[in-house]
Amino acid sequence: MPLDRKIAYIDLTTGEINSAPIPPEMRRRYLGGRGLDMYLLYNHLAPGVDPLGPDNVLTVSAGLLVGTLASASARTHIGAKSPLTGFVGSSNMGGFFAPELRWAGYDHLVIKGRAERPTYLWIHDGLIEMRDAGEVWGASIPETQERIKEQLRDPEVKVLCIGIAGENLVRYANVMTGMKNAAGRTGMGAVMGSKNLKAIAVRGTQDLEIRFPKDALAYNRSLVEHIGSTKFAQIMQKWGTMFIYGVTNTTGLVRNRNFQLNQQVGGNIECEHIERYSLGTQGCYGCVIHCRHKYMIKEGPYAGTYSEGPEYTSQGAFGMEVGCNNFETVLVGNQLVNTYGVDTLEIGSMIAWAMELYEKGILTDADTDGLKLEWGNDEAVLEMIRRIAERRGLGDILAEGPLRAAERIGRDSLRYLIHVKGMSNLHSDERPTPSLALGIATSSRGSDHLRSRPAIDLYHLPEELLRKIYGGPQPYDGPLSSDYTSYEGKPRMVHWQEMMYEAIDCAGICKYHTIFLSPNLIGFAELSKLIYYNTGLELAAEDIWQIADRAYTIERLFNLREGLTRDDDWLVDRYFDEKTPIGLPIVRGKSIDREKFRAMLDEYYELHGWDEHGRPRAETLAKLGLEAEPSHLL
C-alpha cells in the first residue's frame, strides 16, 4: 500500500539507523512529502542551530502519491534549515529518485549529524548502509551518479547527489538527480556538503499496491487525456518552459540588467532556437508531457556541450538578467550549473547584481581579478559560474548569497540587491503585477515562484471563472479582479495558490499538472479523487485544504521561531521607488504602491488567521491542531 512506507532516522555521526512506521493519523494531518517534512523539521530541529553545523537536520522524502497511478507522481522533497536565509529550507525536484525510494520501502529520511569522512547512503529494499564516498568526492553531478552505479553494479540504481558547489558549501548549492533534476533553492546541497554526505543511492523492488487499481487507472487516463488536450500541455511538449519567455519579455515583465529594465530588447534567446541543438525530449517518471529537451552544441567554441533543458529560469539567469543575447550562452550556463550543482536562479541573480555594482564602480577590476563584468559579456558570465562554484576570488564572496555578500562588499551594494528574506528573486519584474509581488514577498522560503504564483492572473480571465477557481474549497465571497495591475482580491489568489502548491508538494505531483500556468488543470477536487483511488484515504477537497493550511502554518511557526518578523514579508525599495521604464503600455511606468501593498499584506494575514505581525492566532493554531507543537510524535 502507498500508506505502508516508513521513516528512516539516520545519524551520520554515530552510524545509528532506525526505522519507524508512519501512523495513519499523521497521514491524515500531513499526507507526506513537504508537509510531513515540515513537521519533522519543526520537531527535530532546535531553534538557532547553525545551518552548516552537525545539528541541522536534513529530510528527504517522496510525496504520498509518488510511484502510484497518478500522472507525474515523481517529486522528491528536501528540507533543512536554509544556510542561505536562516529560515525554512525546502526544495523539490522531479526525475526518478522518489519512486525508487518508495519501492525500497521508505517515504522519509531524517538525516542528522556529520560523517567523519565523505559518505554516501545505500538504500535497497528496506536496508540502509553508510558507504565510503572518497572515490566520488570532488566529482561532478553526472560523474558521481555514474561511478556509484558502477560501484553497485546496477545501472537501475537512482542517485541523488551534490556536486562541487555543495562540497564547497556554496550557500545556494543544489541537490540533484539525473542530468538536470534539481532541488535548487535554499541551499540544500550545502547542507549535504556540511554533513560530508555526497549522495544517496537507492534501488527498490517492493510492490506499491494501489487501493482501487481499476478506478485509479481509469481516472488517471481521463486526467491525462484532458491535460494533453490543453494548449498549455501541447506548448510545453514542444518547447518546455522556455515558451514563457516570448510572452513575458514582450510584455515587459522580466528583469534585464539586474533591475534597470523590464524588457530585453533585441534578444536572441527565444525558445525556437532549441531546434538547432535538440536531440529529443525527456520526461520524469509517470509524465506524458516530456517538457525538457536533451541538447548538444555540435560546433564552435562550445562544441560537445551536452545537457538537458534549458528551463525558462536559465534564459533569465544567463540571458535577460545579465543582458546576454546569445542562446549558446544560455545552453552552456545551464550545463555548467547542472554539472557543478548550483541554483540557476540564485547564481544568475548574483552575477547580475555584481555586474550592476561593476557598472556603478562599487566593484572594480581589482575586485574581479581583471574580469570585465559588463552587461552582455558572455564569457564573463560563464567564468563567474565557475568561480562561484569553485569559490575563487570574487566568486568566494558571491557564493555566500545576497546579504552576506553585500555585508562583505559594503559601499552601498545592498541597495542594488533584488531579494526577499535573503534569497534572490527570479528573473521576473513584479512591479506591474501586485499579486505576483505579494507572492514573492510572503513566500515561506524567500523570493520565489513555486510557493505561491498566481500566474493565471496574467490571463485576464473572466471574473466568473476566477470565482469558480478561487471561491473554494474554503468559502470566499470577497472581491476578485481580472486586471492583473489591480490590488483588489489579489491576497486571496496568493493564499489559494499557497494552499494548492502545498497540497501538491505533499502529494508529490508536478505543479505543471495543476492550476499554475493553466486554469484547466488539477485542483483540490481532482486531488481528492487521486488520493482516494490510489491510497483509499477519504479526504474531501476541504480536508486537503486544511492539511495544506496546517503544513504551511507549521512552516510559518518554524520561521517565526528563527526570528522572522513582518518586515521580512516585504519588498526591497526599488519595487516602490523605481518605475518600469519600458514594455507594453499596461506595464510601463508601474511601481508598487507602499500603502496598497501594506493593505494587501494585512488582508493576506487575515486570510491565514494571523495577527497584524504575521503570527498565527491562538484560535488558528487550535483549529489546525497545532497548539501543542512541537509534539514529537515522529
User: How many whole angstroms separate alpha carbon 298 and alpha carbon 303?
Assistant: 5
Q: For the chain, which residues make up each domain, given as ranges?
A: 6-203, 254-418, 434-624
Task: Report pLDDT digits (tens) over 189-242.
Answer: 999 999 999 999 999 999 999 999 999 999 999 999 999 999 999 999 999 999
Pick the CATH number of 254-418 from 1.10.569.10, 3.10.310.30, 1.10.357.10, 3.40.50.10190: 1.10.569.10
Q: What percent of the chain has pLDDT over 90?
A: 98
pLDDT exceeds cutoff 70 at 46:
yes
CB within 8 A of 632, min separation 6: which ones? 43
Paired sense of beta strands 158-161 and 197-203, if any: antiparallel
Which residue spans within 174-272 are E strands per DSSP? Answer: 175-177, 181-183, 197-203
pLDDT mean over 459-464: 96
Average pLDDT for the chain: 97
Residue whose grid cell is 539567469? 317
Alpha-carbon torsion, ordered 380, 445, 497, 449, to 10 deg:
0
CA 424 → CA 366, 562, 622, distances in Å?
25, 19, 35
- Write down the pLDDT at residue 499: 98
**CATH entry 3.60.9.10 includes domain 6-203:** yes
- Write down the pLDDT at residue 1: 63
pLDDT mean over 455-460: 97
Global pTM reads 0.97
User: How many whole angstroms separate alpha carbon 211 and alpha carbon 535?
Assistant: 5
Task: Report pLDDT digits (tens) over 390-442.
Answer: 999 999 999 999 999 999 999 999 999 999 999 999 999 999 999 999 999 99
| Selection from 146, 147, 160, 148 nearest residue 94 by Cα | 160
- Write down the pLDDT at residue 508: 98
- CATH topology (fold) of 434-624: 1.10.599
CA 256 → CA 64, 356, 425, 573, distances in Å?
40, 11, 13, 17
- Write down the pLDDT at residue 597: 98
- Measured CA angle at 218 (ends 213, 222), to 5 deg: 145
CA 134 → CA 41, 116, 131, 575, distances in Å?
29, 11, 9, 47
- Write down the pLDDT at residue 621: 98
pLDDT exceeds cutoff 70 at 129:
yes
Q: What cell was used for 34? A: 513537504
- Write down the pLDDT at residue 2: 79
CB within 8 A of 437, min separation 6: which ones? 430, 431, 571, 575, 592, 597
Task: Report pLDDT digits (tens) over 168-182.
Answer: 999 999 999 999 999
Task: Report pLDDT digits (tens) over 567-621.
Answer: 999 999 999 999 999 999 999 999 999 999 999 999 999 999 999 999 999 999 9
Q: Is 192 helix (H, G, I), strand (E, B) or coil?
A: helix
pLDDT exceeds cutoff 80 at 267:
no
pLDDT exceeds cutoff 80 at 503:
yes
Q: Is the dihedral of CA 472, 474, 477, 483 positive or negative?
A: negative
pLDDT exceeds cutoff 80 at 532:
yes
pLDDT exceeds cutoff 70 at 325:
yes
pLDDT exceeds cutoff 90 at 280:
yes
pLDDT exceeds cutoff 90 at 266:
no
